[in-house]
Structure 1
Amino acid sequence: MDKKNIGFIGLGVMGSPMAQNLVKHQYNVKGWNRTQIDRAAPLCDRTLVTQALENGVKIVSTIEDAVKDADFVCICVSDVPDVNEVIFGEDGIVHFAKPETIIIDFSTIGTQAVKEINDKLRSNGLHFMDAPVSGGDIGAQNGTLTIMVGGDDRDFQTSLPIFQAMGKNIVHCGSIGNGQAVKLCNQVLASIHMMAICEAMELAKTLNIDPDLMIKVCSTGAAGSWALTNLAPKVASSDFAPGFMIKHILKDLRLVTESLENQTLPATDLATQMFQSVAELGGATQGTQAMIRAYQK
């Protein structure tokens, strides 16, 4: 029988559009989020949870309701404690999921955490894969995410249609934890790219060059990147609305540091300092492109 029932835990900036894309691909999705719907809120104030509801995700009030009949459970929350709580907490997934359910964690929580979670879930008769994503809110909305998967090959093949409903570049990176390892490398690149964008933007301003002209020309050459194409225009227009929040990149860079053994990454350390500087200016919930504020103090 075709497995179509999915429980989706975490309907935020990334999780909400990801769940909606599953509905578009004919999956039956029950979603749970810590912040519930405020049905009295005006349309302009409706949350991402409400958007998911309006686009076919059945919103439920407990994790039990989301996962008890699910063939797959997807998780998209913030940090290690959040993942552990929704899985192993008093009302967590492990108490209600059917035997052999495949649990897919799209969060970025580092290699050690997912290995520990995998061991616990396997001992409870459940399957687990780490599948962190890249592509920001734009990729989540368009179903074009890069998804880096760690886990058993059979579980990967079984889950591949689910990944394809949400992403464009799906890569099985190997065993549990390898998806996280590749994602942390991605975050190092993304952080340093943002620093380079900000410094190029500051140089263009000093040299009286239109930032949009700089972006247009440099995007076509050796300096071109996803970040330059998608985030640099936001830097130029001071649009700091979050596609990926500074507090989340700081969490990811903390995981990078925790992964290192007697080693330093100087450029990554500097990028961390720049993001931290903006967080201290009140920008923790702004997008990573708000790093430019650290250059404008």
Structure 2
Amino acid sequence: MNKQIAFLGLGLMGAPMTANLARSGYPVKGWNRTPNHPGVRVAEFAGATIVSSIREAVETADIVFSCVGDVPDVEEVILGAGGVAESARPGTLVIDTSTISPDAARNIGEELKKRNLRFLDAPLSGGDIGAKKGTLTIMVGGDIADFEESKPLLEVIGKTIRLCGAVGSGQAVKLCNQVLASLHMVALCEAIALAKGQEIDPNLIIEVCGTGAAGSWALSNLGSKIVASDLQPGFAIKHILKDLRLVQDTLKSGEELPGVELAGNLFKMVKDLDGGMGGELGTQAMIRAYLEG
């Protein structure tokens, strides 16, 4: 419990994870690029110390977590000027929980290794609900000794924690997860649209189908949000579109995933709504492609 923790990125996912670590007794320094983000207050209220620079966050840390956006964001925070690579002590373990490409994770791991820093890629699944409850699924790539060292902390923020292989393997499994998640959303929206067309209460679909072979996390957790017209993001459309782009980027020449293309097109339809602001909505807002498309 005496390990010093830094957490970089106090957004929708990072803030509750930081809060859970702080409430569990770990000394945590938190940093966010946008100082007035609501997540900063969430982390601070739970006991994290908020600092104004990456250097201040990581210079005394034993383990550094990051949770930001796309590949350029991760590279800037970890490898950029004033970032983790320049500021962390030799031997520090860096754990990136963002979703990026497997190749990007491997490149970051190699660069950190040159500076005597250790690295795990540890993308997450479970949305803001899982982040708040500490029930996330965490897919880890890296050295087994580093994984074992990180496990007590990962068990604070997650429930299912699996070492998937070498650095980059966590991201590879996460991309497979996003294929499943995106197509589950297609199935959920089409089932609800069909129910409405048949004058069946969509709540009945959630209650009955959720107990059988068609049950899924999306049906259980997001179906009721669709019925209630609650489209606020637990995971935003702009982020799933980024992830599906990463999936497409990993495909070899001639490989196709038509389901991913379909899901991407539906998410893009919603992203373009509201003057291009639809991407800020949660993934359950795909239902708008059926109602307004």
Q: TM tier, shorter chain? A: over 0.9
Task: Structure 2 unaligned segments of length 5 or more: list them.
Answer: none
- Please state if 1:266 is matched with 2:258: yes
The answer to whether the 8 A contact 1:32-1:60 is kept is yes
Shift of 1:237: 1.1
The aligned runs of 1:179-218 (5 Å cut-off) are: 179-218=170-209
Q: Which residue does the alignment assign to 1:118? A: 109
Q: List structure 1 runs of 4+ shifted beyond 4 angstroms.
A: none
1:138-192 residue CA offsets vs partner (Å, 9 max, x unmatched): 0000000000000000000011001001000000001011100000000000000
Partners of 1:240 and 1:84 in 2: CA distance: 31
The aligned runs of 1:242-261 (5 Å cut-off) are: 242-261=233-252
Partners of 1:17 and 1:72 in 2: CA distance: 17
Partners of 2:38 and 2:20 in 1: CA distance: 17
Shift of 1:89: 1.4
Q: CA RMSD in A?
A: 0.8
Shift of 1:87: 1.0
The aligned runs of 1:1-297 (5 Å cut-off) are: 3-37=2-36, 47-261=38-252, 262-281=254-273, 282-297=277-292
Shift of 1:20: 0.6
Give, as a single letter, the amino acid of the residue that structure 2 aligns with 1:290.
A
**TM value normalised by structure 2:** 0.97
SS in 2 for 1:284: helix
Partners of 2:2 and 2:289 in 1: CA distance: 48
Give % identity. Answer: 56
1:68-88 residue CA offsets vs partner (Å, 9 max, x unmatched): 000000000011000000011
Task: Structure 1 unaligned segments of length 5 or more: list them.
Answer: 38-45
Give, as a single letter, the amino acid of the residue that structure 2 aligns with 1:291.
M
Partners of 1:90 and 1:105 in 2: CA distance: 18
The answer to whether the 8 A contact 1:13-1:48 is kept is yes
Shift of 1:238: 1.0
Shift of 1:3: 4.2
Partners of 1:214 and 1:191 in 2: CA distance: 19
Partners of 2:200 and 2:266 in 1: CA distance: 24
The answer to whether the 8 A contact 1:109-1:255 is kept is yes
**TM value normalised by structure 1:** 0.96
1:95-126 residue CA offsets vs partner (Å, 9 max, x unmatched): 11010000000000010000000000000000
The answer to whether the 8 A contact 1:3-1:71 is kept is no
SS in 1 for 2:280: coil
SS in 2 for 1:243: coil
The answer to whether the 8 A contact 2:20-2:46 is kept is no
